[in-house]
A = this chain, B = another copy of it.
Amino acid sequence: MPTLEFWYEFASTYSYPAAWRIDRLALAAGVKVVWRPLFLGPLFHKQQGMSDSPFNVVEVKGRYMWRDMERVCQAEMLPFRRPSAFPRRSLLALRLALVGGHRGWIANFSRAVYAANFGQDRDIGDPAVLALLVKEVGGDPVADFHEADSDAIKAELRDNVAEAEAKGVFGAPSFYIPSNKTPGGELFWGNDRLEQAVAWAAAH
Contact = CB atoms under 8 A, between A and B. Distances in A.
B170 A64 contact: yes
A168 interface: yes
Interface stretch (A55-63, A107-115, A116-124, A149-157): A55-63
Contacts of A48: 58, 61
A180 interface: no
Contacts of A47: 58-61
A63 B165 CA distance: 13
A159 interface: no
Copies in the complex: 2
Nearest to A200: B71
Name which of A47, A59, A170, A189 has the most chain B CB atoms within 10 A of its CB. Answer: A170
A189 B60 CA distance: 12
Interface in A152-180: 168, 170-171
Interface size bucket, A side? 20 to 34
A40 to B, nearest CB: 13
The CB with the most chain B CB atoms within 10 A, among A47, A60, A188, A193, is that of: A60
Interface string A31-61: 0000000000000000110000000001111
A136 interface: no
Given A67-B187, A187-B67, A189-B68, A61 B170 contact: yes
B170 A71 contact: no
Given A48-B58, A58-B47, A58-B48, A64 B187 contact: yes
A48 B48 CA distance: 13
B170 A58 contact: yes
A138 to B, nearest CB: 36
Contact of A192 (B60, B168, B192): B192
Interface of A: 47-48, 58-61, 63-64, 67-68, 71, 75, 168, 170-171, 187-190, 192-193, 196
